[in-house]
Amino acid sequence: MICLLLVAGHGTKLEDQIKNDLTGLYTSLEGVPKALLPGVGEKKILDFWWKAVNTRQLFSEVFLVTNADKYKHYERWATANDFPVENIINDGTTTYETRLGAVADLNLVISSKKLSDDVMVIAGDMLCADQNFDIAQVIKFFQLKKGELAIYYEMEDMESTTSRGIVEVCPESHRITNFFEKPAPGTTSSRLASVVFYCLQKKTLSCLLDFLSLYENTEDRVLGKFMEWLINVAKVPVYGMKLPTGFQLIGQVGLSDYTKWLTFYSAKKTGDTVKAITCRSYARIGIIGNPSDGYYGKTIAMTIANFWAEATISESKHLVLVPHPLNDPTEFGSLLDLYYISRKEGYLGGLRLLQATCKKFYHFCSEKGIALSKQNFTLKYNVNIPRQVGLAGSSAIVSATLKCLMKFYNLTEDDMPKPIRANFVLLVETEELYITAGLQDRVIQVYEGLVYMDFGKELMEKQSYGDYIPLDINSAPPFWLAYLRDPSDSGTIHSNVRQRWLNGDTKVVEAMRSFSELTDLAKQALETRDWTELATLMDKNFELRRSIFTDACLGPGNLKMVEIARKHGSAVKLPGSGGAVIGLCLDPKNLVELKKAYQEAGFVFCHVVPYCPHSH
């Protein structure tokens, strides 16, 4: 592949304002071309681009296209920066009025150097906010898509769409469906701005001549117009790749633009490196309908503030995943100590969850055309969710890690919408780590609060996720929670329910349908605050589960916790896969006795504190 850096513009407006500035601050910059002005981190703007593309493994040649007026400046820069002077192309123009236009400049290099290869075209005088993005990812995505590629970014609030090429991109295929060059207000709601940063296949280079023969006016011979024609008229497939960064100083800009954006990006850069980002995801309780989420059913679940997982990410020289001292032990008091810890905790700590999430995140961004900045990080986690009691501790760690990665790399809700995030967390566990899991826990930990979920077969097959409806968390009654102090002794036996369901076992299929009906009734009970009805439905949920999973599968610990609740007149069910129960006891006196009974029997008891994202 060949890279072409375009710096042939005549920056009359900016040059004039620097020359006529009375403050004396910019005297040293008089006559300096825009690409050689100081950029972020006190490097020249062009220095950044040259560093980004100066890789033999990626590009066989790099050419710089400039004009006769500024040629000497670039020749001097090339000598100082080890850029081959013979690769500077001079288009022969000396004024703005005699300029060729970027498309003609591009064609000049291709024809004069007889280029017959894919090319990457970059405006070398653009100011880039992120000084660390990885250009190899751009080439990888271009090769994956086997079509033309245009880079775009999400505009800052203070930017106007009327000064940019605006693209509309299909979220599934990533093909650019429309390109609007400096659209009038109201033309499109998109705020995705395309910049002069393209990858063109060698077979498409002939389109440049087609375009030039159609547009003879220099004003039209800009790359934005060319892309607009290529996409909207010639219907050539052009794909979009998003860089999580901004670009400025495009085209004719003034001194105030230059100083404003340089200050803004420099401040951003300084702010970015210092602070660590910490994100939390909360434990959840399945209130009704579980475990039908893995069987095209319906459920209602709630995040609880009692327990959480936390991930912290900060920029560092190397990429480091920090083991948790309790969950990923590497030092032991003795061989006996190792024996006891391994017997009780097993060998699967949280570090594998971090690693799998990072791997899947990189893969997701590569496939979705989101280029990540080339910065390393240190990632650590902490968790106080009790292990192996079905409160979704593993998915909370993955979910918190994903939040951190999204913030660290500036991904937005549009890059990974909530339903897709829930699918992502599930795939980390099922595809990477072979953990058997359903969607409910991931959905509730992404949405947070109290959520009704419909995983109907048609919905799932059509859109690959269900319908998720947040409910008013204030309508949740005062649930209680009890769990096993030592879950490794719970003695649960693996169930054959999934195989029976796949085989079309009538009893299992009917049960899953009944779970969905209970969920719809529970939704009504929550909305009308009919807690007596909700308590009855919770009991029915448990009995239904018991009928298909059998007591041998539920295990003595779970059955003992259910028995205690029933003795004290409380509704009870399993909030997850086993190891804990939740209940609803409407008699305050009974609740006091219930708590005492659990504690005396050696279980841990607590009052559920609902977690609502808006109240924290």
Domain boundaries, the chain: 2-269, 278-607
Position 105 pLDDT exceeds 80: yes
CB–CB of 427/444 below 8 Å? no
Can you tell me the distance from the alpha carbon of 213 to that of 217, in angstroms, rounded to the nearest whole number?
Answer: 10
User: CA torsion angle for 43, 44, 48, 49 (degrees, to 10)?
Assistant: 180
Topology (CATH) of 2-269: Spore Coat Polysaccharide Biosynthesis Protein SpsA; Chain A (3.90.550)
pLDDT at 493: 53
Please, which pLDDT band fits residue 561 given cuts at 50, 70 and 90?
A: very high
How much is the pLDDT for 469? 97
What's the pLDDT at 249? 67
Task: Answer whether residue 340 shows pLDDT above 60.
Answer: yes
> Rounded mean pLDDT of 518-529?
96
Q: What is the mean pLDDT of the chain?
A: 90
Q: What is the pLDDT of residues 32-53, one digit of tens each?
A: 888 888 887 778 889 989 998 9
SS3 call for 107: helix
pLDDT of residue 106: 93
Place of tokens 């292990």: 387
> Mean pLDDT over residues 291-303, rounded?
95
Tokens of 529: 């605050």
* The pLDDT of residue 11 is above 90: no
Residue 593: per-residue pLDDT: 96
Q: Can you give the C-alpha Rg of the chain in angstroms?
A: 30
Choice among 25-29, 171-175, 338-342, 454-458 with the minimum mean pLDDT? 25-29
More confident of the two residues 186 and 400:
400
pTM exceeds 0.85, yes or no: no
Q: What is the pLDDT of residue 18?
A: 81
Residue 86, token pair as written in the block: 């013979």
**DSSP 8-state assignment for residue 546:** H
- Whether 551 shows a pLDDT value over 70: the answer reads yes
pLDDT of residue 341: 85
Mean predicted confidence (pLDDT) in 480-487: 90
DSSP per-residue letters across 327-347 = TS----SSHHHHHHHHHHH-S
Q: What is the pLDDT of residue 491?
A: 39
pLDDT of residue 157: 81
Mean pLDDT of 470-474: 94
Question: What digits encode the pLDDT tens for the residues 406-437?
Answer: 999 989 888 899 999 999 999 999 999 888 88
Per-residue pLDDT at 131: 64
φ/ψ of 311, rounded to 5, equals -125, 145
Q: Which of 323, 322, 325 is nearest to 341 (CA)?
A: 325
Sign of the four-CA dihedral 285, 287, 291, 297: negative
pLDDT band at 490 (very low <50, low <70, confident <90, very high): very low
Percent of the chain at pLDDT > 70 equals: 95
Measured torsion, CA atoms of residues 532, 538, 542, 544, in degrees rounded to the nearest 10: 90
At 575-586, the pLDDT tens digits run: 998 899 999 999
pLDDT band, residue 252 (cuts 50/70/90): low
pLDDT score recorded for residue 127: 80
Give me the active site residues, please.
441
pLDDT at position 269 is 57
Bridge partners, residue 122, by sequence: 5, 197
Q: Which of 24-28, 58-62, 286-290, 294-298 bottoms out in mean pLDDT, i.e. has the lowest?
A: 24-28
474 within 8 A of 611, measured Cβ to Cβ: no
Architecture (CATH level 2) of domain 278-607: 2-Layer Sandwich (3.30)
- What pLDDT score was predicted for residue 397? 96
The pLDDT score that the predictor gives to residue 486 is: 79
pLDDT at 268 over 80: no
Per-residue pLDDT, averaged over 463-479, amounts to 94
Band of the pLDDT at 21, cuts 50, 70, 90? confident
Out of 115-119, 264-268, 279-283, 415-419, least confident range: 264-268
Task: Tell me the C-alpha to C-alpha distance, in Å, between residue 85 and each of 66, 76, 79.
Answer: 12, 9, 7
Which has more pLDDT, 56 or 132?
Answer: 56
